[in-house]
A and B are shown apart, each in its own frame.
Chain A
Amino acid sequence: DGGITQSPKYLFRKEGQNVTLSCEQNLNHDAMYWYRQDPGQGLRLIYYSQIVNDFQKGDIAEGYSVSREKKESFPLTVTSAQKNPTAFYLCASSIGLINTEAFFGQGTRLTVV
């Protein structure tokens, strides 16, 4: 089955610790994205990558870092510099062609205590 896998589904971390969220896709998609969802805020773009070894900041990149060493993988690190890290994080991918939809993973709920 092709799809996007995010792991883990729930993650708890202590304040001040960095944490890395995993996102893997086997759809052979070129483009991958990380979004954050907060209550009443919709989905806000953190980082996106249109091709391997290249990525761009989204609207709320501060306190986050990413890498795109492989086409299938786009891990997101939430650093201690992120002031409000508790949120629902969504990874997505798309073929990377004009006018195509993005497919989303099931999300990771990160809670920082």
Chain B
Amino acid sequence: DQQVKQNSPSLSVQEGRISILNCDYTNSMFDYFLWYKKYPAEGPTFLISISSIKDKNEDGRFTVFLNKSAKHLSLHIVPSQPGDSAVYFCAATLGGSNYKLTFGKGTLLTVNP
């Protein structure tokens, strides 16, 4: 059973517009959520995170929203740029002394010039 789900395998947007990537989770014990960006044949790079005690975290063009009651988080990229084209992974941890990340399957974002 998949505890972190990214139901959209791909998303295509125009340059300058907003990209919204979604993620749902089933384990209510998840305490910390992260987004990673990955290019082919490279390791993922950390983008932004949010603690379960918050509902929003912003870093430049990237904003993550958390809706705990719906067990849903989203990553907003504004404005989108062609260099943002990559696979985006949502991940979650249980917190406490358990540091392991549980990942979703990823969403391929394509930003068209």
**B43 and A40: CB pair below 8 A?**
no
- In the bound complex, residues from chain B placing their C-beta under 8 Å from that of A58 are 100
Interface residue B81 (Cβ < 8 Å from any Cβ of A): no
- Decide if B104 touches A102 in the complex (CB within 8 Å): no
A80 to B42, CA, bound (A): 26
CB–CB A42/B105 < 8 A: yes
Indicate the size class of the contact surface on chain B. 20 to 34
CA distance A104 to B96 in the complex (A): 21
- Please tell me if the beta carbons of A99 and B44 are within 8 angstroms of each other in the complex: no
Q: How far is the CA of A4 from the CA of B46 in the complex (A)?
A: 14
Contacts of B44 in A (CB 8 A): 43, 90, 104
Question: A100, A104, A107: which contacts B41 (Cβ < 8 A)?
Answer: A107
**Known pairs A90-B44, A99-B31, A107-B41; A42 contacts B103 (CB<8 A):** yes
Contact with B along A58-102 (1 / 0, CB 8 A): 100000000000000000000000000000101010101111111
The secondary-structure label for the interface of chain A is strand
B102 within 8 Å of A (CB atoms): yes
Let me know if B85 is at the binding interface, CB within 8 A: no
Q: B25 near A: Cβ within 8 Å?
A: no
Is the CB–CB distance between A43 and B89 below 8 Å?
Answer: yes
* Chain A residues close to B by CB (< 8 Å): 4, 6, 31, 33, 35, 40-45, 48, 50, 56, 58, 88, 90, 92, 94, 96-107, 109
B interface, CB within 8 angstroms of A: 6, 9, 31-32, 34, 36, 41-46, 49, 51, 89, 91, 93, 95-97, 99-106
